[in-house]
Amino acid sequence: MRNDVYGIMAEFPTPEALIEATRKAKAAGYTKMDAFSPFPIEEVIEEIAHGDTGVPRLVLLFGLIGAAAGFILQYIGNIVDYPLNVGGRPLDITNWPAMIPITFESGILLASFAAAIGMVVLNGLPAPYHPVFNVPRFQYASQDAFFLCIEATDPLFDRSRTSQFLRSLNPMQVSEVSY
């Protein structure tokens, strides 16, 4: 059975109220929440940080794969398939210093591709629609409104208890976010 509720959202009048609400929600044990405001609020970002995304490991892995692929391609091309004695250089693996620039560049190239693609995929982009767009007054999130949404995927989420918890934080309004 598909849950038709994305979460419960509360609107707060000031950034300070949003910061306090975020801290209380985290202290209450909620982990799946998101905040929306017209400008970044560092304290809120620290409270709702989603932790390790895996992007650094992905970038490292693809950087190493790119560097290894670049080195192997140069080795095959310069030593195995088309050996060319230029300037008396040895035609074996001891000629590795000449392969460093391409090895480095291919590693950087694949690492940057992994970072860009990983960021896009993990952020769920492109996303032309989000359920919070259905909330009344959400259009003011880019102007002068501050919202905190506790998602239905949170282990502690219960419609009535979560709604009651958000109401206890003295918001301007509390809305159910539907798909």
Question: What is the tens place of the pLDDT at every residue in 92-131?
Answer: 888 888 899 999 999 999 999 999 999 999 888 888 899 9
As given in the structure block, the two tokens for residue 133 are: 């767009």
Position 56 scores a pLDDT of 94
Mean pLDDT score across all residues of the chain: 93
Position 1 scores a pLDDT of 39
Position 86 scores a pLDDT of 80
Considering the domain architecture, whether residues 40 and 82 belong to the same structural domain is answered as no
pLDDT at 3 over 90: no
Provide the number of structural domains found in the chain.
Answer: 2
- State the alpha helices, DSSP H only, in 76-167: 100-122, 159-167
Considering the domain architecture, whether residues 59 and 46 belong to the same structural domain is answered as no
Spatial distance between the Cα atoms of 26 and 93, rounded to a whole number of angstroms: 56
Considering the domain architecture, whether residues 115 and 148 belong to the same structural domain is answered as no
Query: 75-79, 89-93, 118-122: which range is least confident on average?
Result: 89-93
HSE, CB side, 13 Å, CA atoms: give it for residue 157.
18
End of a domain among 105, 122, 139?
A: 122
As given in the structure block, the two tokens for residue 105 are: 């560049």
Sheet with 33-36: list strands edge to edge.
33-36, 146-151, 5-12, 173-178
Paired strand residues for 35: 148
Confidence label for 160 from pLDDT (cuts 50, 70 and 90): very high
Position 2 scores a pLDDT of 52
Question: What is the pTM for the complete model shown?
Answer: 0.74
Paired strand residues for 176: 8
Q: What is the CATH number of the domain that holds 148?
A: 3.30.70
Considering the domain architecture, whether residues 67 and 114 belong to the same structural domain is answered as yes
Mean pLDDT across 20-43: 95
**For residue 132, what are the domain limits?**
5-52+128-178
Considering the domain architecture, whether residues 67 and 84 belong to the same structural domain is answered as yes
Considering the domain architecture, whether residues 118 and 59 belong to the same structural domain is answered as yes
Mean pLDDT across 165-179: 95
Residue closest to 23 by CA, chosen among 50, 47, 58: 47
Considering the domain architecture, whether residues 60 and 81 belong to the same structural domain is answered as yes
Considering the domain architecture, whether residues 33 and 64 belong to the same structural domain is answered as no
Greatest extent of the chain over all pairs of C-alpha atoms, in Å: 80
The CA-based angle 110-123-54, given to 5 degrees, is 55
Mean pLDDT across 11-17: 96
Are 34 and 48 in contact by the 8 Å Cβ rule? The answer is yes
End of a domain among 122, 140, 155?
A: 122
Spatial distance between the Cα atoms of 37 and 90, rounded to a whole number of angstroms: 62
Confidence label for 58 from pLDDT (cuts 50, 70 and 90): very high
